[in-house]
Structure formats: C-alpha cells, structure tokens
Amino acid sequence: MITYGHFIGGKRVDGKSGRFADVCQPMDGSMRGKVALASQAELTEAVINAKVAQPAWGATNPQRRARVLMRFLELAAKANGELADILAREHGKTVADAKGDIQRGIEVIEYCIGAPQMMKGEYTEGAGPGIDIYSMRQPLGVVAGITPFNFPAMIPLWKAGPAIAAGNAFILKPSERDPGVPLRLAELFIEAGLPPGIFNVVNGDKEAVDAIIDDPDIKAIGFVGSTPIAEYIYGRGCSNGKRVQCFGGAKNHMVIMPDADMDQAVDALIGAGYGSAGERCMAISVAVPVGQKTADELVKRLVPRVESLRIGPSTDAAADFGPVVTAAAAAKIREYVDIGVKEGAKLVVDGRSFTMQGYEKGFYVGGCLFDQVTPDMRIYKEEIFGPVLSVVRAKDYEEGLRLCNDHEYANGVAVFTRDGGAARDFASRVNVGMVGVNVPIPVPLAYYTFGGWKRSSFGDLNQHGPDAFRFYTKTKTVTSRWPSGIKDGASFVIPTMG
C-alpha cells in the first residue's frame, strides 16, 4: 500500500489533515494506496513556499529557466517507462497510451524552452519628440492548476510548463484518483535544478479547490474537467479577481460525407471513439454519416470492428483499451447505455456485460455502439466519457453541419471527405474550437493553442502555444523621455504624439 502525501517546498511531505481517499488499480480493482486530502492550512503552506521562492525565479533570466526545462526533458526521457507504468496502473489506460499521454506533455515543455522568445516585449523608438515606448512581459507571481484524472501527465505539464518558464511559481492540484505521476514529475523538476517552492503538488478534493480559488496570493487558475465544475471555478475565481481559464465537457462529432474514404473513416472512428476507453475530452462520441447509403455502410462496417475490440489489463501490450478509472465510472457508463435503450436508440453492439477473465474485479466496460440516435436523447446531449459511440444520421451536409453547431459543447469536430471545397466550407462555418479535416482527434501541436468554444471553455485564452504565455504573464508598457533641454512647461490636456 502506497501512501501519497504532497510535494511542498521541494520535497514530499505527509498529509496533516487526517483525511484520505483510496487510490485503486483499475485493471484488477485492487487497492493501490491512499492519498492525503489537503486542508486549507496545507494549501496555504504551499502558497507561502511558492510566494517566497517566486521573486528570485522570476528575476532569473529566461534562458536559464529554459535550461532547467531542458534538463527536465532529459530526466523525463530516462524515467519514461517508470512514469508510464505508474500512469497505466493508476488510471487504467494501456502502457502505450500512457506513453502518448506523457509525450504530449513533453512536447509542451519542448515548446516552453523557447521562453526567451515568448517573453519578449515590443519597442518603438521616437514615438514622440524624444520619447520611446516599450513593453515587457512579467510573471504574475503564484499561479495554480487543477487537473483531471484522464491525463495525469499531459495536462499538468500543459499547465506547469508555460507557468514556470514565464517565471511564476506553480501549485498543482491533480486528480486524487491517480496522484502518482504528478508527484514523480515534481521530483524530476527538482532534480533538473528547479528551485524548491516553484513547483508544488497539493493533493485534495473540493476543500483544496476552494482554498485555491479563495487564496488572495494565487493570481491565476487553470482548470480542466467537467463543465459544471468549470463554471463554478470560473465564476468564483473571477469574482475573487483572479485570471481564470476553465475547460469543460465535450461531445465531439465526426461528419462522414458520402465521398469519404470509408476504410479511413471507420479506422478513425474506432481509434478516436474507443481509445483510452473513451475517457478523453477529445474522443469522438458522435458519428454523423451524411445520407442513408453512407449511414448504412458505416454502421455495417463499424459493428464487427466494435465487436472485435481487444480489451485487456493496462499491462497487455496487445489491448486496444483497458478499464475505466473507477467502479463508479463503469456503473455510470452502463447507466447511460440503459438510458439510451429506454429512449429508443438502437443498441447494435452491447458491451455492458463484458468481464475480463482473470480480472473480474477490474473496472471494464465493453465497446458499445448506438444507431438511430436523435438530438433529443440524453445520450446525445450529455458527455458519457466511456467507450460508447452514437450514430446520428443526417440527410444532407447542411443537417450534419447544423448538428455540430447546435450542440452546447464545442470542443472538437472532424469532417471526412475527399472534397476540398466541402472541407474548407465546413472548417469555416462550424462553430467549434478545434477542427479536423480527415483527422479524427484534432489536438493541435504544442506551438498552437488548444481550446474549445461555447460550454466547453470559459475564459478568453487557451492552453499551450502563445496563449499560455499570455495567460501566465502581465504586460507592462513604459513611456520614457530623458532630459534633452526641451522645456515644454505644464500641460493640462491629454498627451498626444502628433
């Protein structure tokens, strides 16, 4: 049994609240350990450490900060297998998928090595008589990230990398379901030369979240999770005068045009819909075939593929996906499938009764496929977050586009077609934050920003890319004039440079 505490002031520390949560191993349902749930006092201790450490780190020139990140990359590469094993055992995703989780986080750290370029301001000489104007980017101070269970390496690194590179001190409140990887990442940062107090990990539940939101010394919060919690953190954080970015739920559509390469489309749907057991905010959960012939052909091809999905323990290198994160999550997914059946959707592949031989206590759900789903059904409206794909048939392109535009969530969307004009029109008119053209999971590379629209995102700046450095810095503009013998006298009108 492992006991997970916190990481404060450059070292692991035990929890002091006396409250703990269980950490399970989803592939066999066993108890892996327990994680301490922080009190407000423990969060305050982390903030104090961060506040003391931040000024010197913020005054460190950006290329020296970037060198720490470079050393972190070397250490993370050496620890890749260890990190992936911890991640797979605590989350449930396969080891191969866990390595992808880590790699996506690493790519953002690689981008953040360019901090010297991203922190540059602007300069105008001679903006007025003897007057120069320049701007500078400065760190906010102490900032925080609240991250979800489904990407325990990637999203903490998405948040921490730009924050640290920009000169801030960072406090991470990861999911209490899989705390092992964030704590190990903190140790690697210290080993890479990051000063103690710059990266802190505080494990906890709502008490820790509320303490982060209300602490006056935390200047910004980044969150990824469900939409109701995103709304709560955004509203309360903004009312406390903080800069806040919150990313919530999703219901990602994939429109399959009649001219699409059907083999490619089916492969894309299988991987994007069922990879990581559907526990991705960018998973495709709605297939929208255009026209009856397209729909019939798509479903005909999907059924045997879904039925033949290989489900296995996280350590099975041949498994397509593993268990979901908790027994409660598995029960909730099955309940949604029950609801879909009651609402009249056609369940063409039923994975509710799947059990894994030798792992009967694991949290497994087999792949499920619905046809004849309509927009008024709950299984269409709500995020299921499991290996469940719904087929919503559209009679034509405009109806398919309208389905994407009318949904309250607008995280990601894809269109599969051979028609460049149709693809260009779709990308222009669809009201969704991230668009894939013959790409099922359109997660941008680290040097572009990641973020949805509508009720998938709250705040005006996205994750990673240039937006991350804008989010974690404030701009100061200086207008200067040095004595030159010019005597202007007192002026009582607004200054101009004309």
Mind telling me the catalytic residues? 281
Distance between CA atoms of 209 and 140, rounded to whole angstroms?
20
For residue 121 the two structure tokens come to 């301001």
Nearest to 15 by CA among 31, 39, 32, 33: 39
Q: Take residue 15 and report the two structure tokens written for it.
A: 């929890």
Nearest alpha-carbon partner for 189 in 179, 201, 199, 175: 199
Buried b (16+ CB within 10 A) or exposed e, 7-37: bbbbeebebeeeebbebbbbbbbeebbbbbb
CA distances from 476 to 61, 116, 136, 244, 272 (A): 17, 17, 5, 20, 43
Is residue 248 within 8 Å of residue 227, measured between CB atoms? yes
Radius of gyration of the chain measured on its C-alpha atoms: 25
Give the chain's end-to-end CA distance (angstroms, integer). Answer: 72
| Residue in the block written with tokens 């409660």 | 328
Structure tokens at 157: 């690194």
Question: What are the CA-CA distances from residue 487 to residues 24, 233, 490 (Å)?
Answer: 75, 53, 9
- Structural element, H or E, at residue 115: helix 115-118
Beta bridge partners of 390: 286, 370
Beta-carbon contacts of residue 350 (< 8 Å; ≥ 6 apart) = 337, 366, 368
Neighbours of 141 (CB within 10 A): 19
Residue located via tokens 């954080």: 237
Torsion sign, CA atoms 42, 48, 50, 53: negative
How deeply is 495 buried, as exposed, middle or buried, from its count of CB atoms within 10 A (0-12, 13-18, 19+)? exposed
| 209 CB-near residues (< 8 Å, 6+ apart) | 146, 173, 233
